[in-house]
Chains A and B, each alone.
Chain A
């Protein structure tokens, strides 16, 4: 863990070497997702609800997903761009070092510049929370925290899954965008608005619904069952097969050469 924090510091230092470029990219990264929010605001200027969810409820959902995704895109970038490590053969170097492989992959790439996306996510989250009438109690605070943590966990797991897929294919990660961008596009609305088949896939195969739908219902006071409050915990189970498949891939790993 100490190594990881040390490498965060190093990556930050190297990014700050080019100050002007850092500032420009920092600002432009802030704007990249502007179009997503624009769609939501434009639609809600014509309609007042989507299956009973209001604009701030959708913004809350979306900002939680966006926050988790951004955090992973910065701090788990090593898994996100894992094919680079495999193609260049640099993965071999990690294998001979006396440190945990996962820690080393995590430390290999950290994209600090994208942290403006985190700030954006937090701002939207706060705006949404101020405008919603939530009867706060300790359970609801826990629910919200779990939602954010599980959002980080789900994208982490997907990144690791896609990385283990690299062991077999070396390259060819086009499907990745389907799970991350596609999933993100769905999960910006509460999963409950979709048709049954989609809800099933995104509950049991990729558990987005446990991040942004079931706990949301509790948070908004639509259901009283405490099970809903703790439902994001299910997402953490999703990490087990992800890490196992990575371990399995590593066993089968054959280097691409020099």
Chain B
């Protein structure tokens, strides 16, 4: 366990160096947040009679949380180091090391994501809270929903890394990170509710979304925060997300074993 934590720590400290990148990231996130919010406000203003699946304030909180926790919930983050290792054959060196391949890379990716989060989330959070209504992030529905939100976003961060690992391991079989991986990430991003909340989907796509693990990354935590899902529902969903997390760990570990056994090392 110790060696995995130190991989995590190295990646964490390493990533804290990139403060300028973080600053640009903060700027970008606030800008994007405002643009998305203005679009939704314009939609709500021009359709006052329409039945909407979410109250405007809940929706705006959802959009802000999506920006604030962007580096955790964004499924589209690739670890270029791991991918190029798989493609150029250097992954052979990894196999000589006395550490578990899966967990080493799991903690590497997790460390990267968590350090980026710590660098960026506070300024965006403060700005989002201080903005004038209706642009601001509302306070959580209750203390209990805040607590449940923290639990669910923590599970989400573990789950997104587990899913991300599966995507990376698939590259062992396809050896192409642009084609299949892109397709998987487009699907993941849509069905986690990253581009638009799932409640806005057409009915049949909602049904599909509810059968996939992706929604526990964005959709569930953010709706728990604003009280769009009630307490009982939150608890059930947190339970389900833990089940998915265990399943994704399992699939990832089995796939990585299978991949390494069959691995044809590229290059010479």
Interface residues on A, range: 35 or more
- A130 on the B face (CB < 8 A): no
Contact status A42-B202, CB under 8 Å: yes
A193-B50 contact, Cβ under 8 Å, with A35-B186, A35-B189: no
Q: Which of A28, A39, A42, A52 contacts B178 (CB 8 A)?
A: A28
Chain A residues with CB below 8 A from B195, complex form: 35-36, 38-39
Closest to B190 in A: A35
Q: Does B5 contact A (CB under 8 A)?
A: no
Contacts of A98 in B (CB 8 A): none
Partner of B179, one of A27, A177, A193: A27
Which residues of the partner chain A approach B176 to less than 8 Å between Cβ atoms? 21, 24-25
Q: Give A195 to B50 CA distance when docked, in angstroms.
A: 22
Majority secondary structure, A binding face? helix
Interface size class of B (residues with CB under 8 A): 20 to 34
Q: Does B201 contact A (CB under 8 A)?
A: yes
Q: Which of B39, B47, B50, B176 has the most CB atoms of chain A within a 10 A radius of its CB?
A: B39
The interface residues of chain B, by DSSP majority, are classed as: helix
Contact, CB under 8 Å: A42 / B186: no
Q: Is the CB of A182 within 8 A of B38?
A: no
Q: A79–B45 Cα gap in the complex (Å)?
A: 40
CB distance from A65 to the nearest CB of B (A): 14
Q: Which residue of A lies closest to B194 (CB)?
A: A35
| B31 adjacent to A50 (CB under 8 Å) | no
Most buried by B among A43, A46, A48, A177: A46
Shortest beta-carbon contacts, A-B, top 4: A174-B24, A24-B179, A28-B182, A47-B47
Binding site for B on A (CB under 8 A): 21, 24-25, 27-29, 31-32, 34-36, 38-39, 42-43, 45-52, 172, 174-175, 177-178, 182, 185-186, 189, 193-195, 198
